[in-house]
C-alpha cells in the first residue's frame, strides 16, 4: 500500500517540558476549525496555548481522540497545517509559522523534529479509508461515488452527503433510518411505525431490501431490515439515479428502486488509537440497552486491525402494549500493507416487535374520500397484542485492493447475505371510510431472501499532456432468490382507529415453509473517465455501463416456472465540474438508469405480473460553495421514469397495477452544513418538489401529483456549545414536511406536519481513569404531534413517531 509521510511541522521543545509532557492523557478533540481544536486541546491538556489568530484563520484540524501524550495529541491536531509549536514553559505552548528558511535540515539546536505520521489509504484510488470530517464533524468532506471511488464533495458532479459516526453517536441514532431523516430530500420510515424499511429520496420511494443501499460499495450486503447504526462509520447519500456508479439493483416488489438516490454504509474499522467504549442507553417507555465498541491494531506497523461492535436493546416502546427487542453483532478484520489492503465484515442483526407497527392501506377507498381521516394518537396500537413480527439478517463480505502500480489499483469484493422475516399477526389495516373505521385480518407470512453479490475493477490515474485522467472499470454480478409463504384469515371490522376495541379475532392456518417465488440476476460492466485540466479547475466525466437483468417467477404452490423475462441496456452518464474559484464548484450531470420491471405484489389484483423494464433519466445542475467553515449546495434537477399506476376497482376489490405514462419529478435543493462560528454548528436544508404524471394514456392523469412526494420538506438542525458550562452542548432540529398525495388517481392527501426535536450532551473526564464520559439526552417530537408521516406504494400511509426520550452514557476505557 502506498503511504504518505505527512509532517505537521517543526517542533521546538524545551527538554524539561518534553519529558514532562510525555505522560499520556485521554483526549477527545473533534475535527473542525483549528482555533476551536486548539482551545479544546488546551483545556483538556491543562496547558495555555498562545498564537496569533491570523495564522489559524481558515485552517481545519482533523482532531484527535484517545490516550496520547500532549506532544502526540498536539502534533495530530496540527497535522497538515504547516505550523510549529514550542513549549515556552511547562504549562505554556506557543503555535507559530516556521520562517521561510526553516527546514528539517536547519533546525535550532533545541528543536525536535516531529515524528513521521503514516496516513494509510492515501492512495487516491483506494476506498478503504473514509474521507475526513468537515468543520463541525457532522458531515464528511466527501464519500464513495460508486465505481469512481472516494471523491470530495467539491470535485463530484453529483449531490453527495456523507454523515459521520459523530453525528450518529450524538443524535443517538439507533438505525440508519434515524440518520437519513437529517436530509431534507429524504423521508424514511421508522421500525416501530411500519413493518417495512422504506425511504423516499427526491420523491421516489424504495425499500432497503430492494437495492437502495450498499455496504462498503457492494450491492445487497447492507442488512435488509432497518440496519443498526452501531457498527457504521459513515452513511453516504448519493442523490439521483446511479446505474453507472453502482450498477443495477435487485428489486423484488412494486417499488422504484434507487432512482431517487442510493445509500452507502461504511463499516467501522480499527483506528490507530485503541478503542474501548461502553454505552448504556434508555429509550422510552422502558427500553434498556447496551453497546460495546472495541478496536485494536497490532503487528508490525499496526498492519492488522480488529473492530467489534455488539449491542442489545429491549423493552416497552412509547406505543401502547408494544415490546421491542433488537440485537446486533458485527466484526471487522483488516490488513493494511504496503501495496495490499484487505477487509472482512461479518454481521448479524435481529429484531422482534410485538405488536408490530402497521401501515394503513387506503387504495380501495381513496377515490371516495373527500379528505383523509386525521391521524390517531401516535401511542395507540391499531392491532392487538400477540401480533409478532420478527426479522433477522446474517451477512459476510470480503474486499481487497492491490496497487499494481503507484497509479493503478485493482479491487474486488464478494459477499453473501441471508435474511428472514416472519409475521404472525397483522401487517396492515384497511381503511373503510373517512371516519376512521378500518378492518384487520390475521396473517401469517414467512419470507426469505438470499443474496450473492460480487464486483471487481480497476482505478487508475494517467496524464496525457495538459489533461489528467481518472479511469474506472467496474464489473458486477448480483443474484437474489426470494421465497415466500402467506396465508390470510377473514377480516374483522374495528369501529374507530381513535379508540380501537378488538373483538375475538379468527385464527389462520400456517402456510408452512416459504417456497421459491422469484430469482433475479443482474450483471453489468461499466467504464468511466474523468478528464481534468488546469489543476482540476475543469473536470469532465463520461461513462457508460452495459447491464443485463433477468427475472424468473415461480408458482409457489406447484414450484413451476410461471413467467420470465430478460432485459439489457446501455446506460450513459456525463458530469461536469467547473471551479471558477478554489472554493466554488459549478456542476451538471446527465445520467440514465435501467431498472428491472416491477413484479406486481400480492396486494394487487394482477399479482405476479411482471411489468416491462424501464430507463429513468436525470438532468441536474448546481453550485457548491465552501465558505471555509460552512459549505452550501444548491441543486436543480429533473428525473423522469415510466409510471406504475394503481387503478382502483370500482367494485371495491384490489386495484390493478399497470405501467402507464411517465413520472416526472422536478426539484430544487438547498443544503448547508458546518460550523457557523466556534461552538455553533448547522446542518439542514430545504427541498421544493414538483412531482407530476405526464404522457398517460389518453392524457387522463396528466398533471396529477405523484404519490410519496411532498411539495416542500425542510430540516434545520443546530448545535451550541454552551459557554457557561464547559463540556455542555445543546441541540435542536426542526422538521417540516408538506402534504402528500395518498393515491395518484384520487388526489386525496395527508396534511403537512412539523416536529421539533431537542437534546443536550455533557462531556467530562471520569474521576476513575481521567478518560472522557459523555452523557446524552434527546427528546424526539417534543410536542407529541400526532401525524401521518408519509405515503408509499400508492395508497399506503404510515404514522409518525410519538414523543420519545433517549438517554445514554458513553464510557471510555
**3-class secondary structure for 283-332?**
ECCCEEEEEEEEEEEECHHHCEEEEEEEEEEEEECCCCCCEEEEEEEEEE
- Report the Cα 616 to chain-centroid distance in Å: 23
Burial 481-498 (b: 16+ CB within 10 A, else e): bbbbbbeeeebeebeebe
Question: Which runs of E-coded beta strand occur in 337-387?
Answer: 340-354, 359-361
SS (H, E, C) 530-581: EEEECCCCEEEEEEEEEEEEEEEEECCCCCCEEEEEEEEEEEEEEEEEEEEE
Question: In 3D, which of 528, 543, 780, 598 has the Cα closest to residue 204?
Answer: 598
- Residue 255: what pLDDT? 43
Report the C-alpha gap between 663 and 691 in whole angstroms: 7
Report the C-alpha gap between 407 and 91 in whole angstroms: 46
Other beta carbons within 10 angstroms of residue 556's beta carbon come to 19
Element holding 20 (H helix, E strand):
helix 15-20
- Report the Cα 360 to chain-centroid distance in Å: 26
* Average pLDDT, consecutive stretches of 10 residues, N- to C-terminus, the chain (813 residues): 33 36 65 83 80 79 78 84 78 73 38 36 76 91 93 94 95 93 91 77 79 86 90 95 79 56 94 92 95 94 94 94 94 94 97 90 80 92 90 96 94 96 89 92 92 96 93 95 92 93 88 92 94 94 92 88 84 95 95 74 71 83 94 96 72 72 93 93 96 86 86 97 93 96 84 97 92 95 94 83 95 94
- Residue 746: what pLDDT? 76
Dihedral sign for Cα atoms in the order 496, 501, 506, 510: positive
Report the C-alpha gap between 664 and 692 in whole angstroms: 5
- Residue 597: what pLDDT? 65
- Residue 672: what pLDDT? 97
State how beta strands 304-316 and 287-298 pair.
Answer: antiparallel
Q: Which residues does residue 592 pair with via DSSP β-bridges, in sequence order?
A: 617
Question: In 3D, which of 621, 741, 652 has the Cα closest to residue 692?
Answer: 741
Q: Where in the chain is the domain with CATH 3.55.50.30?
A: 4-115
Report the C-alpha gap between 144 and 161 in whole angstroms: 10
- Residue 45: what pLDDT? 80
Give burial (CB, 10 Å; 0-12/13-18/19+) of 366.
buried
Fold topology of 263-812:
Maltoporin; Chain A (2.40.170)
Fold topology of 4-115:
Phage tail protein beta-alpha-beta fold (3.55.50)
Q: Where in the chain is the domain with CATH 2.40.170.20?
A: 263-812
Q: Say whether the peptide bond before residue 264 is cis (omega within 30 degrees of 0).
A: no
Helix axis angle for 34-45 and 70-77, nearest 10°, is: 170
Phi and psi torsions of 36, nearest 5°: -70, -40
- Residue 777: what pLDDT? 97
Give the three-state DSSP class for 676: strand
Site of grid cell 471551479: 579
Amino acid at each position: 500500500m502506498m503511504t504518505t509521510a505527512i509532517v505537521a511541522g517543526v517542533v521546538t521543545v524545551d527538554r524539561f517540558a518534553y519529558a514532562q509532557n510525555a505522560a499520556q492523557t485521554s483526549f477527545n478533540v473533534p475535527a473542525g476549525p483549528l482555533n476551536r481544536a486548539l482551545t479544546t486541546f488546551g483545556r483538556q491538556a491543562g496547558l495555555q496555548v498562545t498564537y496569533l489568530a491570523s495564522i489559524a484563520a481558515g485552517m481545519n484540524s482533523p482532531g484527535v481522540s484517545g490516550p496520547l501524550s500532549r506532544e502526540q495529541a498536539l502534533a495530530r491536531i496540527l497535522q497538515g497545517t504547516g505550523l510549529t509549536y514550542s513549549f515556552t514553559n511547562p504549562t505554556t505552548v506557543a503555535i507559530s509559522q516556521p520562517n521561510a528558511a526553516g527546514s528539517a535540515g536547519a533546525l535550532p539546536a533545541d528543536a525536535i523534529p516531529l515524528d513521521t505520521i503514516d496516513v494509510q489509504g492515501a492512495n487516491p484510488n483506494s476506498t478503504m479509508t473514509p474521507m475526513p470530517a468537515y468543520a463541525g464533524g457532522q458531515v464528511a468532506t466527501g464519500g464513495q461515488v460508486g465505481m469512481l471511488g472516494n471523491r470530495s464533495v467539491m470535485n463530484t458532479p453529483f449531490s453527495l452527503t456523507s454523515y459521520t459516526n459523530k453525528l450518529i453517536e450524538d443524535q443517538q441514532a439507533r438505525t440508519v433510518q434515524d440518520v437519513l431523516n437529517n436530509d431534507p430530500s429524504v423521508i424514511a420510515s421508522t421500525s416501530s411505525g411500519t413493518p417495512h424499511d422504506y425511504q423516499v429520496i427526491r420523491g421516489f420511494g424504495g425499500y432497503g431490501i430492494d437495492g437502495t443501499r450498499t455496504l462498503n460499495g457492494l450491492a445487497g450486503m447492507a442488512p435488509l431490515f432497518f440496519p443498526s447504526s452501531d457498527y457504521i462509520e459513515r452513511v453516504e447519500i448519493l442523490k439521483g439515479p446511479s446505474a453507472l456508479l453502482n450498477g443495477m439493483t435487485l428489486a423484488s416488489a412494486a417499488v422504484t428502486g434507487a432512482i431517487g438516490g442510493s445509500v452507502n454504509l461504511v463499516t467501522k474499522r480499527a483506528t490507530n488509537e485503541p478503542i474501548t467504549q461502553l454505552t448504556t442507553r434508555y429509550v422510552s417507555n422502558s427500553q434498556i440497552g447496551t453497546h460495546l465498541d472495541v478496536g485494536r491494531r497490532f503487528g508490525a506497523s499496526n498492519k492488522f486491525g480488529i473492530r467489534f461492535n455488539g449491542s442489545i436493546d429491549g423493552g416497552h416502546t412509547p406505543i401502547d402494549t408494544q415490546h421491542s427487542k433488537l440485537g446486533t453483532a458485527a466484526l471487522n478484520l483488516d490488513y493494511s500493507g504496503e501495496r495490499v489492503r484487505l477487509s472482512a465484515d461479518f454481521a448479524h442483526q435481529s429484531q422482534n416487535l410485538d405488536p408490530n407497527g402497521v401501515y394503513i392501506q387506503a387504495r380501495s377507498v381513496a377515490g371516495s374520500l373527500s379528505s383523509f381521516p386525521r391521524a390517531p394518537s401516535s401511542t395507540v396500537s391499531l392491532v392487538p397484542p400477540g401480533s409478532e413480527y420478527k426479522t433477522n439478517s446474517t451477512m459476510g463480505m470480503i474486499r481487497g485492493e492491490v496497487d499494481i502500480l503507484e497509479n493503478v489499483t485493482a479491487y474486488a469484493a464478494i459477499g453473501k447475505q441471508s435474511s428472514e422475516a416472519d409475521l404472525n399477526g397483522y401487517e396492515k389495516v384497511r381503511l373503510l371510510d373517512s371516519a376512521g373505521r378500518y378492518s384487520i385480518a390475521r396473517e401469517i407470512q414467512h419470507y426469505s431472501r438470499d443474496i450473492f453479490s460480487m464486483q471487481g475493477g480497476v482505478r487508475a490515474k494517467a496524464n496525457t499532456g495538459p489533461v489528467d485522467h481518472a479511469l474506472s472499470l467496474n464489473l458486477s454480478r448480483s443474484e437474489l432468490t426470494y421465497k415466500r409463504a402467506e396465508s390470510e384469515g377473514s377480516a374483522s371490522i374495528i369501529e374507530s382507529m381513535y379508540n380501537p376495541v378488538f373483538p375475538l379475532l379468527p385464527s389462520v392456518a400456517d402456510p408452512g415453509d416459504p417456497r421459491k417465488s422469484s430469482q433475479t440476476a443482474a450483471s453489468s460492466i461499466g467504464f468511466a473517465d474523468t478528464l481534468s485540466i488546469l489543476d482540476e479547475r475543469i473536470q469532465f466525466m463520461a461513462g457508460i455501463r452495459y447491464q443485463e437483468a433477468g427475472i424468473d417467477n415461480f408458482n409457489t404452490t406447484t414450484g413451476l416456472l410461471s413467467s420470465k423475462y430478460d432485459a439489457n441496456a446501455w446506460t450513459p452518464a456525463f458530469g461536469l465540474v467547473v471551479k471558477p474559484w478554489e472554493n466554488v464548484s459549478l456542476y451538471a450531470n446527465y445520467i440514465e438508469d435501467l431498472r428491472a420491471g416491477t413484479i406486481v405484489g400480492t396486494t394487487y389484483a394482477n399479482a405476479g405480473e411482471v411489468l416491462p423494464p424501464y430507463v429513468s433519466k436525470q438532468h441536474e445542475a448546481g453550485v457548491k460553495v465552501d465558505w471555509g467553515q460552512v459549505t452550501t449546495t444548491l441543486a436543480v434537477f429533473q428525473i423522469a421514469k415510466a409510471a406504475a399506476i394503481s387503478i382502483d376497482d370500482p367494485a371495491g376489490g384490489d386495484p390493478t397495477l399497470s405501467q402507464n405514462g411517465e413520472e416526472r419529478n422536478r426539484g430544487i435543493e438547498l443544503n448547508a452544513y458546518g460550523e457557523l462560528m466556534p461552538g455553533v454548528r448547522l446542518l439542514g436544508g430545504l427541498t421544493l418538489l414538483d412531482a407530476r404524471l405526464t404522457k398517460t394514456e389518453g392524457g387522463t392523469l396528466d398533471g396529477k401529483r405523484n404519490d410519496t412526494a411532498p411539495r416542500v420538506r425542510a430540516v434545520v438542525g443546530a448545535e451550541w456549545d454552551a459557554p457557561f458550562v464547559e463540556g455542555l452542548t445543546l441541540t435542536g432540529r426542526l422538521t417540516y414536511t408538506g402534504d402528500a398525495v395518498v393515491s395518484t388517481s384520487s388526489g386525496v392527501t395527508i396534511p403537512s406536519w412539523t416536529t421539533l426535536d431537542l437534546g443536550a450532551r455533557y462531556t467530562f473526564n471520569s474521576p476513575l481513569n481521567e478518560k472522557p464520559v459523555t452523557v446524552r439526552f434527546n427528546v424526539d417530537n417534543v410536542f407529541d404531534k400526532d401525524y401521518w408521516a408519509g405515503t408509499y406504494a400508492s395508497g399506503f400511509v404510515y404514522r409518525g413517531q410519538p414523543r420519545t426520550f433517549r438517554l445514554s452514557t458513553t464510557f471510555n476505557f
